Amino acid sequence: MGHSAAVWDYRAATEITKDWNGIDSIVLRNPRGASARVSLHGGQVTSWRNEQGEELLFTSSKAIFKPPKAVRGGIPICFPQFGNCGSLKQHGFARNKIWTVDENPPPLSPSDSHGKSFVDLLLKPSEEDLRCWPHSFEFRLRVSLAADGSLTLISRIRNVNGKPFSFSFAYNTYLSVSDISEVRIEGLETLDYLDNLCHKERFTEQGDAITFESEVDRVYLSTPKVVAVLDHERKRTYVIRKEGLPDVVVWNPWEKQSKSMADFGDEEYKQMLCVNGAAIEKPVTLKPGEEWTGRLELSVVASTLSSEHIDLQQTSNGF
C-alpha cells in the first residue's frame, strides 16, 4: 500500500459494506494489512485478521446469519444479562438488536483514537426492550484496530433512567485455536471459580495453568487485568487485557454438548475456546446519570514451547 503510519488515513481505512442480509458491516484496516469487521447486527465483531490474513476469531460453519438470531462466533456482546442468570432470555438482548453508527459520541481519551482505525456504535432500548427490561440506557461501543493489529472494544453504558438499575455483562470472545488439547490459559491459577456444570458451585483452581480434556464452563472471579491463552501448535499467544471486567468466563462445549447445538459443528469444539472478560458475580449497578466502562484489548504475540509464560503483570496502552 505504500503508506507509512505517519500519513496513513485511518478514516479512509474504514469501509462500510453490506452482509447477505443487507445489514451494514464496518471493516477496519491498519497499514500492515490487519483487519476487523463489525456488524450492526448486535454490534458484534465478526472477524479479526492479522497482517498475514489469518482469522483469529472462531465462527461456526453452521452459524445462523439471520437476525435476530445471534451469530455463533466472533465477539457477541452479552447485555444486560449473561447466560440465564436473570429473567431475560439467554445472554440478554444487545447481541440480537440492530445498532446504529454513532456519528458524534462523547469523547474518549486521545490514546483511544490516535493511530487507530475505529468505529463508534450506539444502542438505545426499543419499546419492546423496555417491556421486558424497563430501564432506559445508552450503550456506546467503540471498536478499534491499532497499528500493531491489536483489537480494542470499549463499552460505555449510561443510565438515563429515573431510577437505578443493575446488569451483568460479557464480551463473549470466541478465539480460534489449532487444537484445544494443545491450548492452555495462564493467569487464572489459584483463583476461585463458579462451575456452571455443577450448579454454579464454587471451587478453587488447582492447576498451574488451565488445560482442556473435557467440557469446561466456568466463571473465574476477581481475575487479574491480563490473561494469556497459549496455542502451542501455532506458537501463538493471545493476550487479553481488560478493565472494569473482574470476571473471566472460560467455555468449551466438548463433544457431547457440541452435538446438541444446531448452530455448531460436532467437531468444532477442537478449534475454538471462549475466554470472556465479564462482570457477572457482582452485577454492575448504575444510579441515574452514572456511566460504566468495560474495556477489552486483544493482541497476539509469537510464543514457543520453551517460553514459560508471558509477564502477566505487564501493562500497555493504559492498562
Backbone phi and psi for residue 146, each to the nearest 5 degrees, phi listed first: -90, 170
Amino acid identity, residue 236?
R
Radius of gyration of the chain (CA): 19
Q: Is 72 annotated as a binding residue?
A: yes
Q: Is 37 annotated as a binding residue?
A: no
Q: What is the DSSP string of 261-305?
A: -TTS-TTGGGGEEEEEEEEEEEEEEE-TT-EEEEEEEEEEEE--T
Residue 218 marked in a binding site:
no
- Contact present, 40 and 63 (Cβ < 8 Å): no
Q: In what order do the strands lie in the sheet with 137-146?
A: 100-101, 116-123, 137-146, 151-159, 291-302, 236-243, 226-231, 183-186
Distance of CA 205 to the CA centre of its chain: 23
Q: Which residues are annotated as a binding site for substrate?
A: 72, 90, 95
Q: Which residues are annotated as a binding site?
A: 72, 90, 95
